[in-house]
Structure 1
Amino acid sequence: MKDTRKRILMVDDDEDDFFLVNTLLQDVTSNQYTIDWAATYDKAIEAIEKKEHELYLVDYRLGRYTGLDILRHFQKIGYEAPVIMLTGKGDYAIDNEAMMAGASDYLVKGEITGPELERAIRYGIMEFKHLRTIAENERKYFGIFEKSHDLIVLADCNKNIIEVNPTVLRKMQYSRDEFLKMNLKDLFVHEAEALQFLLDICEDDAIIQKEFSFKNKSGQKIEVLVNANKLDEQLGTFLCVAEDITEKKREELEKRQQEKFVISGRIARVIAHEVRNPLTNILLAVGQFNQDGTPDSEDHQLYLDIIERNCTRINQLVTELLQSTRMMELHLQDWHVNTLLKNALALAYDRLQLNNIRLKEFYTEENVTLQADDEKMNIALLNILINAVEAMIPGEGILTVSTQSENGKAYIRIRDNGMGIPEDNKARLFDPFFTSKTKGTGLGLTSTQNIIINHKGTIHVESAPGEGTLFTIILPLS
């Protein structure tokens, strides 16, 4: 049968004391504990390093050593176990020092009774097990908190942030001290979303799988899927766990853009075929009519000119539509992302000066090289830059451009402080022939998107009326 008795080690250089303690304990509980004896410091160290005992009774005075030396050895080898210090009467300073050094309790020699000794041992073992369980749980949950890839935020009853995990610090780019001065609503891009979030969590006590837009310190938007609920009803603390779905949504958008681009190309080819044939016949007929006879009046000639001019215009639009939606041949070379953007800015420089637009430039210092057709990229970037200039009030406009490298991709961002784009128009921004300008074909951004897609990249727009517009171009590195 397995011995279930708890093993205790007594460290004491006095055999009479060991005999007395052993007798007291056996008189109270004859079959629950086994006490081993270490008469010297060296034997005690040898026994402790085997880690075979559940509790240690250590006399303070051990020849040239003390019980504090024993406690220090526990710390040195990283061994945690309950230790009860045995001290002389009136050694309160020693008692306090022993407790500070890690002893779980102390007993005064000469005043120990059997029940008191058994209770101290039993409580010492039980308390140690409870503390170890708590510590393990703390390590486990602290590990989850620290190592989670999700953004974890704790807030108090006033929704002020009281703790964040490292993922929040990394993605949101604020320091911990900055976060501790912030409110939950400060994380959101849109004030309306923030107010709705706070309203929902107060009324329902929980938010399950809702999408919101956060913004980091540099103003970049992070799409998140949020779960939030009250952590402690009495304290009113809130736990907010947000999964970063920015990349996932970006991939979904890329897929939609690719599908839309393919469909637009098919439609363009159908239009070209079905429209060009009758147009050609009309133009041939007009030409033949002009050759065969003189019109009866000036009105006839005027009408013929109108027919010819508009047929030619339709033909040009069909050609532009085809060019803006077909896969194109690229002449690829290695280009630094900064150079591509600076080249496009040089072409737009006259417009910036003419409209008195202030330019802010932020370029990456890394060697961010990508393969690009510089002529095509000039067209794509210039279309965005010109749109930005035209969206801003002359003399009040601020154009901010930046480059960055992240996760093996190059980022080009072009931001204006213009009138912004209504939500309904954003969805149609890259559609052929869609334009809000009085003059324009509506194929500029379609062509831009085509060029970016042909470079295996993506283009995204963020905008709201009165808040300006941000275009983000993402391209793979060489």
Structure 2
Amino acid sequence: MKDTRTRILMVDDDEDDFFLVNTLLQDVAGDQYDIEWASTYDKAIEAIEKKEHELYLVDYRLGRYTGLDILRHFQAIGNDAPVIMLTGKGDYAIDNEAMMAGASDYLVKGEITGPELERAVRYAIMESRHLRIIAESQRKYFGIFEKSHDLIFLADCNKNIIDANPIALKKMQYTREEFLRMNLKDLFMGELEATQFLLDICQDDAIAQKEYSFKNKSGQKLEMLINANKLDEQLGTFLCVAEDITEKKREEHEKRAQEKFVISGRIARVIAHEVRNPLTNILLAVGQIKQEENVEKEESDMYMDIIERNCTRINQLVTELLQSTRMMELHLQELHVNTLVKNALALAYDRLQLNNMQLNEFYTDENVTLQADEEKMNIALLNIFINAIEAMIPGEGILTVSTEAENGKAFIRIRDNGMGIPEDNKARLFDPFFTSKTKGTGLGLTSTQNIIINHKGTIHVESAPGEGTLFMIVLPLS
């Protein structure tokens, strides 16, 4: 049958002291404890290193060694078992030094009673077990906290951030010190969204699987799926776990764009087929009428030129529509993303100067290259630059262009401070023939999107009336 008694080792060079302590403990709880004796420092060290005992009673005076030497050895080998120091009467300085060195308790020889000794032993063992449970819980918690792929924030009753895990610091681009000076509402893209989040967490004590928009230190928008809970009702602390779903949302958007693109291409082919046949007949009729001799030639030529010119224009529109939606042949070459943007920007520079607009440029210092058709990318970027310039007020416009690389992709951001785009129009922005301009075919951005998609990239728009517009192009690196 397995011995279930608690094993105790007493380290003392006086056999009489061992006998007295053993007798006291056995008299109070003889069936619960098995006490063994180490009479020298060396024997004690040998036994301690085996880690076979749950508690140690250590005399302070051990010949040329002291109990503090024993405590230091516990620390050196990582043995966290409880140690009760046995001291002489009046050795209060030693008592304090022993407690500072890691002893669980101390008892004065000659004053120990059986119940007092048993209680000290029992409490020391219980405390040690509780500390181990707490330490294990802390290890698990910090393992999750430190290594989680999700962003984790802890906040106090005033919603001030009191802790954040490493991935949160990295994603949000703040130092730990900066984070600890922030409030939860500072993480959100919009003030209204932040206010709503704080109302929800205060009213319901929890938020489950809700999407919010964060902004990092550089102002970049991050889409987050958030779970939040109130941890302590009295302290008012909060735990917020946020999953970065920015890339997932981009992929969903790209998928929708691809589906939309296929539908647009199908419509374009139908329009082209249905319109081109009558156009051909009209052009043939124009040719016949021009050959008639009975019609006044001057008048005939005037009307025929009008008809022919408009027919040709309609034909050009159909051609442009097909080109804006069909898969195209690309002549790829390796280009630096900065070069690509600067070359396209040079084509729009005269317009900026004529309208007295400010240009801010922020280019990556990294060697960011991609495979691109320079001619077609010039068309795509120029369409965006022209749209941005036309959306801004002359003399007040500010066009901001930036490039950077992250996670194997190049990011081109084009921001204006123009009139912005209404929410209803944003959804139709890349639709063929959709335009809010008095003069325009509505094919420029359709063509731009087609070019970007053919380069295996994506294009996103963020805008609101009166707040300007941001176009973000994401392209794979070489």
Q: TM-score, structure 2 length as denominator? A: 0.97
> In the alignment, is the contact (CA less than 8 A) between 1:295 and 1:301 conserved in 2?
no
- 1:168 alignment partner, SS class: helix
Deviations 1:165-220 (A, max 9, x none): 22211111122222222222221112221222222222222222111111111110
Give the Cα–Cα distance (whole angstroms) in 1 for the partners of residues 118 and 158 of structure 2: 49
Deviations 1:203-261 (A, max 9, x none): 22222211111111111000011112221111222222111110100000111111111
Give the Cα–Cα distance (whole angstroms) in 2 for the partners of residues 399 and 51 of structure 1: 71
Q: 1:92 aligned to 2:130?
A: no
State the match for 1:6 in structure 2: 6
Give the Cα–Cα distance (whole angstroms) in 2 for the partners of residues 247 and 397 of structure 1: 31
State the match for 1:385 in structure 2: 385
Dislocated runs of 4+, deviation >6 Å: 296-301
Matched to 2:160, the amino acid is N
State the match for 1:321 in structure 2: 321
- 2:50 alignment partner, SS class: coil
Q: 1:370 aligned to 2:370?
A: yes
Instruction: State the 1:333 CA deviation.
Output: 0.9
Instruction: State the 1:155 CA deviation.
Output: 1.9
State the match for 2:240 in structure 1: 240
Q: 1:34 aligned to 2:34?
A: yes
State the match for 1:452 in structure 2: 452
Matched to 2:435, the amino acid is T
Give the Cα–Cα distance (whole angstroms) in 2 for the partners of residues 69 and 352 of structure 1: 79
State the match for 2:123 in structure 1: 123
Give the Cα–Cα distance (whole angstroms) in 1 for the partners of residues 302 and 161 of structure 2: 74
> In the alignment, is the contact (CA less than 8 A) between 2:14 and 2:39 conserved in 1?
yes
State the match for 1:476 in structure 2: 476
> In the alignment, is the contact (CA less than 8 A) between 2:150 and 2:244 conserved in 1?
yes
State the match for 1:204 in structure 2: 204
Alignment of 1:103-114 (within 5 A): 103-114=103-114
Alignment of 1:238-277 (within 5 A): 238-277=238-277
Give the Cα–Cα distance (whole angstroms) in 1 for the partners of residues 175 and 147 of structure 2: 17
Instruction: State the 1:356 CA deviation.
Output: 2.1
> In the alignment, is the contact (CA less than 8 A) between 2:290 and 2:300 conserved in 1?
no
> In the alignment, is the contact (CA less than 8 A) between 1:193 and 1:212 conserved in 2?
yes
Instruction: State the 1:306 CA deviation.
Output: 4.0
Instruction: State the 1:57 CA deviation.
Output: 0.5
Instruction: State the 1:160 CA deviation.
Output: 2.2
State the match for 1:164 in structure 2: 164
- 2:110 alignment partner, SS class: coil
Aligned pair in 2 of structure 1 residues 99, 294: CA closer, same or farther (>3 Å)?
farther
- 1:177 alignment partner, SS class: helix
Q: TM-score, structure 1 length as denominator? A: 0.97
State the match for 1:60 in structure 2: 60
Matched to 1:310, the amino acid is N
Give the Cα–Cα distance (whole angstroms) in 1 for the partners of residues 185 and 299 of structure 2: 68
Query: Which segment drifts farther, 55-64 or 181-190?
Result: 181-190
State the match for 2:137 in structure 1: 137
Give the Cα–Cα distance (whole angstroms) in 1 for the partners of residues 361 and 36 of structure 2: 76
Query: Which segment drifts farther, 195-204 or 434-443?
Result: 195-204
Identity %: 86
Instruction: State the 1:435 CA deviation.
Output: 1.3
Ranges in structure 1 where 5+ consecutive residues have no aligned partner: none
Give the Cα–Cα distance (whole angstroms) in 2 for the partners of residues 145 and 90 of structure 1: 47
Instruction: State the 1:295 CA deviation.
Output: 3.4
State the match for 1:102 in structure 2: 102
Give the Cα–Cα distance (whole angstroms) in 1 for the partners of residues 142 and 411 of structure 2: 35
- 1:49 alignment partner, SS class: helix
Instruction: State the 1:75 CA deviation.
Output: 0.9
Root mean square deviation, CA, Å = 1.6
